[in-house]
Amino acid sequence: MIKKILVANRGEIAVRVMRSSREMGIKTVAVYSEADRTSRHVSYADEAYLIGPASSNESYLVIDKIIDVAKRSGSDAIHPGYGFLSENADFAERCIKEGIIFIGPEPESIRAMGDKITSRQRMIKAGVPVVPGTAEKISTEKKTIDVAKKIGYPIMVKASAGGGGKGMRLVRKAENLWEAIVAARSEALSSFGDETVYMEKYIESPHHIEFQVLGDQHGNIIHLCERECSIQRRHQKLIEETPSPLMTEKLRKEMGKVAVKAAKSVNYIGAGTIEFLVDNNLKYYFLEMNTRLQVEHPITEQVIRIDIVKEQIDIANGKKLNYKQTDIIQRGHAIECRICAEDPLNNFTPSAGVIKHITEPLGLGVRVDSYVYDGYEIPIYYDPMISKLIAWATDRKYAIERMKRVLYEYKITGIKTNIGFLRRILDSQDFTEGKYDTHFIEKELDFLLKPAKVSKKMTEDVAIIAAYIDYMLTIEESGQTVTINDNRAINKWKDFGKQKGVLRI
Ligand code: MV4
């Protein structure tokens, strides 16, 4: 049984993993770079080890350093979180070789899904629908143009080693195909060290819907229903929700079965995600599989009422799945907003710096997965996401209302954040009506960047000023001399209302 887990990650996800470990009575080990000495994941862990300079290439991505700390600390398992080494098959293999449990799937599963041509072929063989396209590598120009004609335009050229949008090219006419392939190849080579590309039919205005799966070491695999992830900007998700507004009970059953079939075809062990593109006619196609815990896993946890990290640890311990498919029931609705230290009005440039003050939301149906605090300096070296707000309610309408309240309560000064931008998404009619696809942000960008006519902030200011005037009038009417020796601001977010000295009326 696992007694000590090294979390090979930083920030909110490292804290998230340690929370479940602590509940299970498992000791936790943090690793950190020089830029992360003051990160919450370091103070939260039972032990913490410095592994190098700020650059992740010299710290969080160095397999030897992580393995060395695992051995020195006597950790019997490593949880990779997401990003960094989480989908690195060589790392998973190395852990096994060193006798350390890798909390994740077998290296072979990671490899099979990491190469998109291989994963497409495996899915076709397993009877999972994929986007119509090429099954093999692209060869000569003439042959390729023939194949493309059969697939039909528009065509998407993709890198086999890619994923997440890198090395992709959209082609609408045959005359532009070859140059797109040449460009995609060169981008793929420089990004992934592999120039292999393939073609798919382009799905117009798709939805991105993914299914969470869990597989144990005994061949049992279940799914935990879907997440709607179409609200994204440049392949960075911003808001996720479950259930998907698009989903029907029938489609969920069918796609869930297909997701389990996809996972079974690579003998999947642990927590994973099957991504689908869903078109306007509700036709769905396997896109890729993420062989890791995902950023947006909490919305599934809230609605299915399962701790996915605990399940990962149980699975790694060799336990049989704690649930049958028939135990999995969605209850209510959950939405996640990713809070990023960035400036939407300045082309979303990251806004590193010191957090002067932070007040996190609380109350019924609220979850905050975070790692920052008052006085914390956000390093420039890593992802700008500082926390995730998750709101749960009995249905979608109430979840949206609650998320608006949660965003209102979340106050952060010292740095710029995307909170206002997220609010605008929740204000948009297409979002509230659930009518959106992967093009939502680019289509609505002008609306989203324009401040609301009367912002909530302004209403708040007016209320504070009104209360202050009323207070002053009361003093005046009393005809007395009043000593005011109160240096507290009426609202801690503004200096307005600070008073000191004697006020003679
Ligand atoms: C597509 C597509 C349309 N047709 N493939 C983007 C990320 C990468 N994982 C695959 N992506 C897409 N592949 C075909 N054949 C549209 C996208 C796409 C997208 C997919 C999921 C979520 C957001 C997206 C945003 C733009 C494009």
DSSP labels, 120-187: HHHHHHHT--B-SB-SS----HHHHHHHHHHH-SSEEEEETT-BTTBT-EEE-SGGGHHHHHHHHHHH
Instruction: Find out whether 18 and 362 touch, Cβ atoms under 8 Å.
Output: no
- The whole-model pTM stands at 0.91
**Residue 208 in contact with ligand 1 by CB distance below 6 A:** yes
Quickly state the pLDDT bin for 166 (edges 50, 70, 90). Answer: confident
Quickly state the pLDDT bin for 389 (edges 50, 70, 90). Answer: very high
Tokens 């649930």 appear where? Answer: 323
Does 470 score more than 90 pLDDT?
Answer: no
Residue nearest to atom 15 of ligand 1 (CA): 202
Using the mean position of ligand 1's atoms as its centre, give its distance from the Cα of residue 399 in Å: 27
Nearest CA among 49, 63, 56 for reference residue 97: 63
List the catalytic residue out of 292, 338, 396, 424.
292
Section 216-242 average pLDDT: 98
Quickly state the pLDDT bin for 17 (edges 50, 70, 90). Answer: very high
Section 28-40 average pLDDT: 97
Using the mean position of ligand 1's atoms as its centre, give its distance from the Cα of residue 472 in Å: 59
Across 158-171, b (16+ Cβ under 10 Å) vs e yields bbbbbbeebbbbeb
Residues in contact with 462: Cβ distance below 8 Å, sequence separation at least 6, in sequence order: none
Does 165 score more than 80 pLDDT?
Answer: no
Section 168-184 average pLDDT: 95
Say whether 292 is catalytic. yes
| Tokens found for residue 422 | 């997220």
Q: How is the beta sheet containing 27-33 ordered, strand by strand?
A: 47-52, 27-33, 4-7, 77-79, 101-102
Q: Is 315 helix (H, G, I), strand (E, B) or coil?
A: helix
- CA triplet 313, 315, 319: central angle to 5 degrees? 115
Phi, psi of 56 (to 5 degrees): -65, -25
Look at residue 484 in the predicted model and tell me its pLDDT: 67
Q: Which atom of ligand 1 is nearest to the CA of 133?
A: 15
H or E element that contains 450: none
Residue nearest to atom 21 of ligand 1 (CA): 208
**Residue 156 in contact with ligand 1 by CB distance below 6 A:** yes
- With 0-12 / 13-18 / 19 or more C-beta atoms within 10 angstroms meaning exposed / middle / buried, residue 364 is exposed
Using the mean position of ligand 1's atoms as its centre, give its distance from the Cα of residue 171 in Å: 13
Section 449-477 average pLDDT: 77
Look at residue 476 in the predicted model and tell me its pLDDT: 72
pLDDT of 73-117, one tens digit each? Answer: 999 999 999 999 999 999 999 999 999 999 999 999 999 999 999
**Residue 235 in contact with ligand 1 by CB distance below 6 A:** yes
Look at residue 500 in the predicted model and tell me its pLDDT: 60
What is the distance between the terminal CA atoms of the chain, rounded to a whole angstrom?
75
| Tokens found for residue 409 | 């309560």
Using the mean position of ligand 1's atoms as its centre, give its distance from the Cα of residue 260 in Å: 22
H or E element that contains 199: strand 197-201
Look at residue 488 in the predicted model and tell me its pLDDT: 66
Does 485 score more than 80 pLDDT?
Answer: no
Quickly state the pLDDT bin for 497 (edges 50, 70, 90). Answer: low
Does 234 score more than 90 pLDDT?
Answer: yes
**Residue 216 in contact with ligand 1 by CB distance below 6 A:** no
Look at residue 462 in the predicted model and tell me its pLDDT: 81
- With 0-12 / 13-18 / 19 or more C-beta atoms within 10 angstroms meaning exposed / middle / buried, residue 308 is buried
Percent of the chain at pLDDT exceeding 90: 85
Does 367 score more than 50 pLDDT?
Answer: yes
Mean pLDDT is lowest, of 27-36, 159-168, 317-326, for: 159-168
- Of the two residues 471 and 6, the one the predictor is more confident about is 6
- Give the dihedral of Cα atoms 62, 297, 261, 130; nearest 10 deg: -80
pLDDT of 397-440, one tens digit each? Answer: 999 999 999 999 999 989 999 999 999 999 999 999 999 999 99
Using the mean position of ligand 1's atoms as its centre, give its distance from the Cα of residue 165 in Å: 7
**Residue 165 in contact with ligand 1 by CB distance below 6 A:** yes
Omega into 350 within 30° of 0, i.e. cis?
no
Q: Which atom of ligand 1 is nearest to the CA of 229?
A: 22
Does 505 score more than 50 pLDDT?
Answer: no
Section 258-270 average pLDDT: 97
State the Cα–Cα distance between residues 400 and 43, nearest whole angstrom: 34
**Residue 203 in contact with ligand 1 by CB distance below 6 A:** yes
Using the mean position of ligand 1's atoms as its centre, give its distance from the Cα of residue 434 in Å: 20
State the Cα–Cα distance between residues 305 and 329, nearest whole angstrom: 9
CA distances from 479 to 347, 469, 482, 495, 499 (A): 54, 16, 9, 27, 19
Does 247 score more than 80 pLDDT?
Answer: yes
Section 336-359 average pLDDT: 95
Section 443-462 average pLDDT: 82
Mean of per-residue pLDDT scores for the chain = 93
DSSP category for residue 348: T
| Tokens found for residue 307 | 């701790």
Look at residue 494 in the predicted model and tell me its pLDDT: 55
**Residue 206 in contact with ligand 1 by CB distance below 6 A:** yes
State the Cα–Cα distance between residues 96 and 77, nearest whole angstrom: 10
Residue nearest to atom 26 of ligand 1 (CA): 438
